[in-house]
Structure 1
Amino acid sequence: MKKKIPIIFDTDPGIDDAAALTILLTNPAFDVRLITSVAGNVSVDKTTLNVLKLTHFFKREDVAVARGAEKPLVREYHDAANIHGESGMPGYVFQTPTTEAMSIDAVEAMFNALVTSPEKVTLVAVGAFTNLAKLLTIHPEAMTHIARVIVMGGSLSGGNMTSVAEFNVFTDPDAAKIVFESGLDITMIGLDVTLKALLKSEIMTTLSNMNHTGQMLMQLFSYYGDGSMQAGKPMHDVNTLFYLLAPEKFTLQDYWVDVVTDGPAIGATVADIHARTHQTTNIHVAMAVDVAAFNAWYLLEINKINDGMVNAGKLEN
């Protein structure tokens, strides 16, 4: 049996975040040390509540949850409720969580989880990178306890917020710059692959007939403003976990990647492809993914979740 992967998961649920948390909380390959929330898709109050709803849904109240940053480091905060709905997870009425977020904030919770861990921990960030940037700035000594960082963010092939900027980086480009230039081992799972790894309509139809978890996800997906039910829905954040479990399904290229923090290209992630300005690299960039394998894997993961593993809620009227 493979050793479990110790993980701190930083997130802003968000519908595709919920799809990722579904795997994180139910797959025994992950040793979830902490889940932290951040303002992104919706406000941090809502993202924190959404994490707690999901830990309760999957009967994982043992997983600690910490509330994170309520706004970017420098810029004004703007949500993505137009994509994820006002609550961040519309379409399904979850039971009221029985646990609360920790009394300390996400940065201190991350630091404590890292320095008390007997082994290095993988950080997975699928929202704005504000919490991570604060951690590295306030507690630089935490870096020696981090195995690697997997981020959903960025793009070398065009953006989804502007022509060049992806949402998570665009939301807090100053934080992304700090993280990208930290010297940590960072893998960028950006739009270059997540807009290819779409959940196909036939897969989603199968999900809805599978179990309580599949029904819950399908109700969320029906309110998800990204992609379409016909062409498929991008599961951006899920790809980080697929990469951790099946890295051979991805094609990576090492580049030096700069983050633009001002001007009309703010939020852009620019790779020095020709090595004109840097003689080294800082990011492993995912450039391709096995889409068929992704769809088959996600279906298999959800199929493994039996109804006894969840506190089922109900569909919204």
Structure 2
Amino acid sequence: MIPLDATNTISVTEEFVSEFQQHQQTYEAQYCFQSLDKSYYMWDSFAAGVALSSMRNGEVDGENEFSELEYMNITVITSNKPYGKRDGSNPFFDGRATPKLGLKEGGVHSGHVQTGIRDSFCLVPGSNRGRCEDGYTREVSGPEGVRVRVATRAKPNTDKNSSLEKEFSKSFLEVLNRPEQTGLFNINTQFPYYREVLYKPVFRNVSRGKPVIFDMDMSPGDFVSLIYLLKTPIEVIDLKAVLVNGNGWANIASIDIVYDILHMMGRDDIPVGLGNTTALGIPTLGCNNSYAIPHGSGGFIDSDTLYGLARSLPRSPRRYAPESLDHPEDRQPLALEVWQSVRKQLDPGEKITVLTNGPLTNMANISLSDRDASSVIERVYVVGGLIKDGGDENGNLFTVPSNKHAEFNIFLDPLAAKTVLESDLKIALIPLTAQRKAASFRAVLAALEDIQHTHESKFVHELLSLLQELQIKQKLYHHLDIFLGEILGAVYMVEGSGLKPSVELKPVSVIANTNKSTDGQIVISKNSAKLVRVLSDFDGEIYSKQLANSLANKRQSAVIGSFEEQKAIWSRPVNSSGNIKKQK
């Protein structure tokens, strides 16, 4: 075992960074140094080194070049003090005459077992730290422990002439720079004419439309909505910024796909701001309702790659970058920073329209941190929610079957939804009832097949066709039409009365009581003075045609259609006029 106690003794010192900077003879050494510059740690590398040394020298009692090792009797704690107390939470002891697995009465496995994220036993009032120790590793005596060989600390460097403190640090640099089994190329050698280009449009003598901020959580429907907004004439919609929720359907590094789509459409001028990775009021490293999103099929693993299609997009020079002490200017901009930047650029009297296609975390943080935000927001279009008003329609929260009337976007951060929907902001709600009318793969794909294609319409057609095929053939993908319904918000915001909508004013309230069976449900509240505009119906045929026609419009079309096109550009030289030389 190589615990943190040992890995923490491998520190990234100034001497190590300096030595590393001078020894980058291989592509892999160069790549690792760049990673080091972005807050890279040596924990995993050290663990691999200790493991390899043990394999070489004998795993039982062999010498290890990189770490001191000793045998300990350890266990993984599965419960909490007071040990031996029964409260129904411990399956090893509760209801059993003899403890399971031969565990000891009164031992570290005999107390309260944490029952969930919000287990009240574990919470400490007024603190972000809990008191439960489930999962801790501890040295113990007796049969509850297991004899394990444990790394305790990194060994010092045996080379007294070296500036490096640890033996592993020296070996790490030596191995990375060996010419044997080295990488064959990097992007500059793979593509001899590789260059980074930012595409920024010039809108001369054009009257710009209403300023819009798009707040998304990077689900497939959100990316189609983004492309649709980028296709809408600048005279109608002036997309000022994209905000990304870090607690929705994709991990935060998937923000690179947002950059790639903006690059494809020639809009590298649009800033992208990253929001919190947890729900409103939850500590940064805490958990939230994102547990409801599947990790596998139709969830994170697919969203993070846009169902395998992300690699077909042209690669933007702009990429996600974590915060770095050495280069703070390179880090990913935050949602609140982008909001403030857009607000400062507004002309006197100008107001922003916001479209939210994910949890309302960003919008809630904006309204709470900028108390005057409502004065510059024209309206917030909220895609999400199911209004529970006596009907028998169920929500779409298929991973939490006890909650029959919630919708994902609201459930993922119910407190944020309550903050926004019950605020003084003007709200237009596009609930699940309306989204379901737009969630027909057959209707949308049929409309897309009747048009003259652009690069972007082909990409959307390929994505939606893939989602339809997965939904038909694989049970785990039964829910994919919920992403199709999300596109309605963008089309409704742009087309408005053109969709022949039916709109009702309703006094709504959001349940946010930390109960997973009711969290995120929207109810009619006669005590509420706040009325929300709710889209109840629209013309589905017009909707599909408008979406398809917009994607087919040659205006504001992709400036670079795919990664294949980009590779071709990087493989040919540029002549003196700046044009790419054509192959004979």
Structure 1 residues 196 and 202: CA distance shift in structure 2, 3 A: closer
Note the 1:1-317 alignment, pairs <5 A: 4-28=209-233, 29-39=236-246, 40-46=248-254, 48-73=255-280, 74=282, 76=288, 77-78=290-291, 79-80=293-294, 82-83=297-298, 85-87=302-304, 89-92=306-309, 93-100=312-319, 103-118=332-347, 119-156=350-387, 157-161=393-397, 162-201=403-442, 203-205=444-446, 207=448, 210-224=453-467, 228=471, 233=481, 235-248=484-497, 249-262=500-513, 263=515, 264-272=517-525, 275=526, 277-278=527-528, 280-305=529-554, 309-313=558-562
Secondary structure in structure 2 of the residue aligned to 1:256 = strand
| Cα shift at 1:116 | 3.2
Shift of 1:105: 0.8
SS of aligned partner of 2:434 = helix
Cα distance in 2 between the residues matched to 1:146 and 1:27: 20
In structure 2, do the counterparts of structure 1 residues 11 and 211 end up closer, same or farther at CA, with 3 Å as the change threshold?
same
Cα distance, 1:242 vs structure 2: 1.7
Look up the SS of the partner of 1:128 in the other structure. Answer: coil
Deviation at 1:201, TM superposition (A): 1.9
Tell me, yes or no, if the aligned pair for 2:381 and 2:427 is still in contact at 8 Å. yes
TM-score, normalising length: structure 2: 0.49
Shift of 1:286: 0.9
In terms of Rg, which structure is larger?
A: 2
RMSD: 2.8
Residues in 1 aligned to 2:489 and 2:305: alpha-carbon distance in whole angstroms: 20
1:62-86, CA deviations, whole angstroms, 9 ceiling, x for partnerless residues?
Answer: 1111122212123523345543514
Q: TM-score, normalised by structure 1?
A: 0.88
Cα distance between partner residues in 1 of 2:464 and 2:417: 28
Output one character per residue of 1:132-156: Cα deviation in whole Å (capped at 9) or x when no partner: 1111111112221111111111112
Q: Deviations over 1:192-237 (max 9, x none)?
A: 1010013442541563673322221123224437995799945333
Q: Secondary structure at the match of 1:207?
A: helix
- Between 1:97-106 and 1:7-16, the stretch displaced more is 97-106
Distance 2:447 2:488 in 1: 20
Structure with higher strand content: 1
* Residues 292-314 of structure 1: per-residue CA shift (max 9 Å, x gap): 11111111111114796242226
By how many angstroms is 1:166 displaced?
Answer: 0.7
- Tell me the SS of whatever aligns to 1:127: coil
Partner AA of 1:159 in structure 2: G
Q: 1:127, 1:168 within 8 Å by CA — same for their partners in 2?
A: yes
Residues 282 and 307 from structure 1, CA distance in 2 versus in 1: closer, same or farther, beyond 3 angstroms? closer
| Cα displacement (A) at 1:19 | 1.0
For CA contacts below 8 A with separation 6 or more, give which structure has more relative contact order: 1
**How many residues get paired?**
310
Q: Tell me the distance in 2 between the aligned counterparts of 1:45 and 1:199.
A: 30
